[in-house]
A and B are shown apart, each in its own frame.
Chain A
Amino acid sequence: MTESSDAFVEFERVQKSYDGETLVVKDLNLNIGKGEFLTMLGPSGSGKTTCLMMLAGFETATHGDIRLDGKPINSVPPHKRGIGMVFQNYALFPHMTVAENLAFPLEVRKMGKADIEAKVKRALDMVQMGAFGGRRPAQLSGGQQQRVAVARALVFDPELVLMDEPLGALDKQLREQMQFEIKHIHEELGVTVVYVTHDQSEALTMSDRIAVFNDGKIQQLAPPPTLYEKPDNSFVAQFIGENNTLDATVDSVDGRFARVRFNDGTLSRALAVNCGGPGSQTRLSLRPERVEFDANVEPDEEGVTGLVKELIYLGDHIRVRMEVLGNRDFVVKVPNGAEVSELRVGETAGLTWRAEDCRALDAA
């Protein structure tokens, strides 16, 4: 899928600068396969929306090539690219009815009246909005407007649809529902989707692959499980999901694993992913659900002791906030069970984990 030979959308060495002094997008290389759902995820200002706008044609790349289906599109104006787009604020035309909004892309393509009607009806039915064709956008709720916007981006059968934080304005429940709907539409139509969001759970739920953006660069491009379980660097580890970090120095590297020394001298073992050789600083990343309590931790094992600071009851599980090796926000998720009752605020407790779950990353 990532082979450039069958890539549908290609970014090759793309750079973008607005002021000629700083690069918003630095040397972007990205291949998107046909039919793929790719999400660009990152904090605001990371360059993800700029990339989307360059693909749509509303921004020009300062350097590099963007290819769509093998053809360079740098000099193709937006209206000739044939790319569907869903905007953050829906951008439904307020002076047209829902049906007129959907008919617009077909009318500018000079389609016949009967064809237009059939296509509009089909698109509206697809998003369960068939009964609302005569309404104005202002008479619809946010979720309904969102559906219409999706239908409008798809009604002219584009092969590529771009979505720019389309669910940002919806409340949580509606957002989750719409995530599934968009996912289902994608699966049904087999259309290629490039989706921009800063919401990681949205990205994890919907995407085939996620490109995590930061500082104008793709930090990691991987399917959601890989991204969560095998982050390549400490930015991705921190940005995706909940993460505990511990700073340490590499003592020795032994095959896949590294022996690391914490500041208090304790030694531990971690998976050497992105740490330097012996003597270099590293940051260990540990998911809260991969840490266990162990009453008898022995030094030189994969384990430390920490001070219990707070217990937060969440029904099925308990979040335990601890102070571990100077990190005051070390969180452990414990399933609600007998084990929990032994924990007391203000007491020390032993923690262990598997060396495979503790990833030694860059010290950033």
Chain B
Amino acid sequence: MADATAGDGIAPEENRSASGLLLSADGTPLKNSIARAERRARIRAFLLILPLLAFVMVSFIAPIADMLFRSVENDIVADTLPRTVVELQDWDPASGVPGEPVFEAFYADMLDATEAKIHTRLGSRLNYEESGMSSLFRKTNARRLGRIDDTQPLAPQFEKIDEDWATVEPWAILKTFSARYTPGYFLQAADMKLTPEGVESVDETQQIYIKLFWRTIILSLTITCSCLLLGYPVAWLLANLPMKSANILMILVLLPFWTSLLVRTSAWKVLLQEQGVINDILVWIGLVNDGARLVLINNQIGTVIAMTHILLPFMILPLYSVMKTIPPSYLRAAKSMGANDWVAFWRVYFPQSIPGIGAGAILVFILAIGYYITPELVGGTSGTFISNRIAFHISTSLNWGLAAALGSLLLILVMGLYWLYDKIVGIDNVKLG
């Protein structure tokens, strides 16, 4: 062997190419040899993760990409009314109702659309921007269009179908939303709207999303804090009790995981309502007047109580696993040096448990900010989250574009908070065990 001396601790002769690259024994560059030698291992590793990768791509990455796309996509106007969109390009809403060429193009487009029965779909899409558009397009149906005589001027005949066609508004909306990509959904999600004159805030009475986002963040923070306050002592007990008692306590901590989320949330309804267990007990021991029972459910208090309960294990477990690694000798050392119990805890134990707090807090906060079922069941109107609104737009109002925009904003918000968290706490300081 060329480098038989290597084993004797003497530096082996190194083969080097002209350019200074290290060469292996047969003269190929060393880096290539490593790549070839480890290719099999890498292929095998890749094959092992392939099923999961495919699953994640199909079930997670693709839907998210689709959702992000839907929040700006707006093909429907340009696809349904291609000629009208072209004609409207040169039209200025300030100059009044558009001229005859626009009506001709619109008539032709609508004939095709009504034949394909897609004109009502366009109507409901435009109704998200301006109410009344849906019924306007439903009225402009195949039967009424059939009565139009295309040798006569079209504008008055459209006015006969619905007098709105003789006003500027529907045309202005058509022009504003004729682009294939629109910021409209995002603006809506931020309580603003796109008008022919530009971007403006919606009526104060109709602003709900910004308020909902704020409420979601603040309630999630409250839930995270109360989870920390309740979970920290429990985690400490878990980490410091003798094995046998700690196991029993651990089972109690994990017990909620074994019960259905719906059952647990419904149990809170029973406990928290005005004629419920908690109020009854408070009245019975005289803390609360029977006439002034506490309102604990269908508001923010209900959401905070129920979600704190549900998310508590996600705080306790990371805290526990970090505390388990802190040897009791640190506290003893601190005490032997003259620190009383509180100083020993605050200056020695607590700083070392921060990675657990970080992990638990981020886990609970991110779970809370996207939570849906519990706020829906116990939150009433004042305790619902942004995710409840997203669900409403997906399943009830069918405004998927807005739902997608709200979802994207939530995603951006969480990522932004994560970045902030990394800046302040440092993600390296997060430890799950």
- Contact residues, B313-365 vs A (CB, 8 A): 327, 329-330, 332-341, 343-344, 347-348, 351-352
Inter-chain CA distance A79–B334, complex, in Å, is 8
Which A residues are in CB contact (< 8 Å) with B341? 79
Contact A94 B338 (CB under 8 A): no
Nearest A residue to B330, CB-CB: A91
* Cα distance, A104 to B351, chains bound together (Å): 14
From known contacts A91-B329, A108-B343, infer whether A85 and B334 are also in contact, taking CB-CB under 8 Å.
no
Complex-state Cα separation, A84 to B336, whole angstroms: 6
Interface string of A73-116 (1 = CB under 8 A from B): 00001111111110111010111000000001100110000000
For the complex, give the distance between the alpha carbons of A80 and B338 in Å: 6
B339 touches A104 (CB 8 A): yes
Is A58 positioned at the interface, with any CB of B under 8 Å from its CB? yes
Which B residues touch A152, using CB under 8 A?
Answer: 337
Q: Are B327 and A108 in contact (CB under 8 A)?
A: no
Q: Is A56 an interface residue (CB 8 A)?
A: yes
Is A156 part of the binding interface, using a Cβ–Cβ cutoff of 8 Å? yes
Give the Cβ gap from B328 to chain A, nearest Cβ, in Å.
Answer: 9
Inter-chain contacts of A153 with B (CB < 8 A) = 336-337
Identify the closest chain B residue to A102 (Cβ): B337
Known pairs A104-B339, A108-B343; A87 contacts B333 (CB<8 A): yes
Chain B residue at minimum C-beta to C-beta distance from A53:
B332
Verify B332–A105 contact, CB threshold 8 A. Answer: no
Distance between Cα atoms of A108 and B340 in the complex (Å): 9
Q: Which of B333, B337, B347 has the most CB of A within 10 A?
A: B337
| Docked-complex contact B335 and A78, CB < 8 angstroms | yes
**B332 near A108: Cβ-Cβ < 8 Å:** no
* Given A94-B352, A108-B343, A83:B330 Cβ within 8 A: no
Chain B neighbourhood of A56, CB < 8 A: 332, 336
Q: How far is the CB of A149 from chain B (nearest CB, A)?
A: 9
Q: Are the CB atoms of A104 and B329 closer together than 8 Å?
A: no
Contact A79 B336 (CB under 8 A): yes
B338 and A105 within 8 A (CB)? yes
Q: Cβ of A57: which chain B residues have Cβ within 8 Å of it?
A: 335
- Please indicate the chain A residues that have their CB under 8 angstroms from the CB of B332 in the complex: 56, 58, 78, 85, 87, 91
Decide: A104 near B337, CB < 8 A? Known: A93-B348, A94-B352, A95-B352. Answer: yes
Cβ contact within 8 Å between B327 and A91? yes
Closest to B334 in A: A104
Distance in angstroms from A100 CB to nearest chain B CB is: 10
The minimal Cβ–Cβ distance linking A77 to chain B, given in whole angstroms, is 8
Chain A residues whose C-beta falls within 8 Å of the C-beta of B340 in the assembled complex:
77, 79, 108
The interface bits of chain A over 112-129 (1 if a CB of B lies within 8 angstroms of the residue's CB, else 0) are: 000000000000000000
Which of chain A's residues has its CB closest to B336's CB?
A85
Q: State the Cβ distance, B340 to closest chain A Cβ, in Å.
A: 5
CA distance A227 to B286 in the complex (A): 74
| Contacts A93-B348, A94-B352, A104-B347 given; does A79 touch B327 at CB 8 Å | no
Shortest distance between the CB of A151 and any CB in chain B (Å): 12
The smallest beta-carbon distance between A26 and chain B, in angstroms, is 24
Q: Are B338 and A156 in contact (CB under 8 A)?
A: yes
Beyond A78-B332, A89-B327, whether A95 also contacts B351 by CB under 8 A is yes
Query: What residues of B have a CB within 8 angstroms of the CB of A108 in the complex?
Result: 337-340, 343
B333 touches A85 (CB 8 A): yes
Which residue of B is nearest A104, CB measured? B337
How far, in angstroms, from A152 to B336 measured CA to CA in the complex?
11
Chain A residues whose C-beta falls within 8 Å of the C-beta of B330 in the assembled complex: 91, 93
* B residues near A80, Cβ cutoff 8 Å: 338
Report the bound CA distance from A95 to B351 in whole Å. Answer: 7
Alpha-carbon distance A203/B157, docked complex (angstroms): 113
A79 and B343 CA atoms in complex are apart in Å by 11
List, in ascending order, chain B residues with CB within 8 A of A94's CB. Answer: 352
CA distance A95 to B337 in the complex (A): 17
Q: How far is the CA of A152 from the CA of B333 in the complex (A)?
A: 10
CB contact between B339 and one of A79, A83, A91, A162 (< 8 Å): that residue: A79
A240 to B327, CA, bound (A): 32
Residues of B within 8 A of A162 (CB): 336
Q: Are A105 and B329 in contact (CB under 8 A)?
A: no
**A79 surroundings in chain B (CB, below 8 A):** 335-341, 344
Q: How far does the alpha carbon of A99 sit from the alpha carbon of B57 in the complex, in Å? A: 51
Taking CB atoms, residues of chain A closer than 8 Å to B329 are 87-89, 91
Docked pose: A69 CA to B351 CA in angstroms: 36
**Most B CB atoms within 10 A — which of A81, A84, A91, A109?**
A91
Assess A156 versus B337: contact at CB under 8 Å? Given A58-B332, A78-B332: yes
Chain B, residue nearest A92 (CB): B333
B337 engages A105 (CB within 8 Å): yes
Which chain A residue has the least Cβ–Cβ distance from B344? A79
Minimum distance in angstroms from A124 CB to a CB of chain B: 16
| In the complex, residue of chain B having the shortest beta-carbon distance to the beta carbon of A149 | B333
**Cβ of A49 to closest chain B Cβ, rounded Å:** 12
A88 — nearest CB in chain B belongs to which residue?
B329
Q: How distant is the Cα of A312 from the Cα of B371 in the complex, in angstroms?
A: 75
Residues of A within 8 A of B348 (CB): 93
> Which of chain A's residues have a CB closer than 8 A to the CB of B339?
79, 104-105, 108
A2 to B335, CA, bound (A): 30
B351 shortest CB reach to chain A, Å:
5
Docked Cα-Cα span, A153 to B344, in Å, equals 16
CB distance from A165 to the nearest CB of B (A): 12
Report the minimal beta-carbon distance from A31 to chain B, rounded to whole angstroms: 22
Q: Do B333 and A91 have beta carbons less than 8 Å apart?
A: yes
Q: Residue of A at shortest CB range from B349?
A: A93
What distance in Å separates the Cβ of B77 from its nearest Cβ neighbour in chain A? 60
CB distance from B124 to the nearest CB of A (A): 60
Can you name the residue of chain B whose Cβ is closest to the Cβ of A109? B338
A88 to B330, CA, bound (A): 11
Interface-centre pick from B338, B341, B347 (highest chain A CB count, 10 A): B338
Measured CB to CB, the closest approach of chain A to B353, in angstroms, equals 10
B68 to chain A, nearest CB (A): 41
Kindly list chain A residues whose C-beta atoms are within 8 Å of the C-beta of B337.
Answer: 79, 84-85, 104-105, 108, 152-153, 156
In the bound assembly, the distance between CA atoms of A79 and B331 in angstroms comes to 11
A87 to B332, CA, bound (A): 9
Minimal Cβ-Cβ distance residue in B for A84: B336
Cβ distance B143 to chain A, nearest Cβ, rounded Å: 79
Query: In the assembled complex, how far is the CB of residue B343 from the closest CB belonging to chain A, in whole angstroms?
Result: 6
With A and B bound together, what is the CA distance between A187 and B147 in angstroms? 117
Q: What would 10 A/B residue contacts be, using CB atoms closer than 8 Å? A: A77-B340, A78-B335, A79-B338, A79-B341, A80-B338, A84-B337, A85-B333, A89-B329, A93-B333, A109-B338
Given A91-B332, A108-B340: 18 more A-B contacts, CB < 8 Å: A56-B332, A78-B332, A79-B339, A79-B340, A79-B341, A79-B344, A81-B336, A85-B337, A88-B329, A91-B327, A91-B329, A91-B333, A94-B352, A104-B334, A105-B337, A153-B336, A153-B337, A162-B336
The 3 nearest A-B residue pairs measured at CB: A105-B337, A91-B333, A85-B336
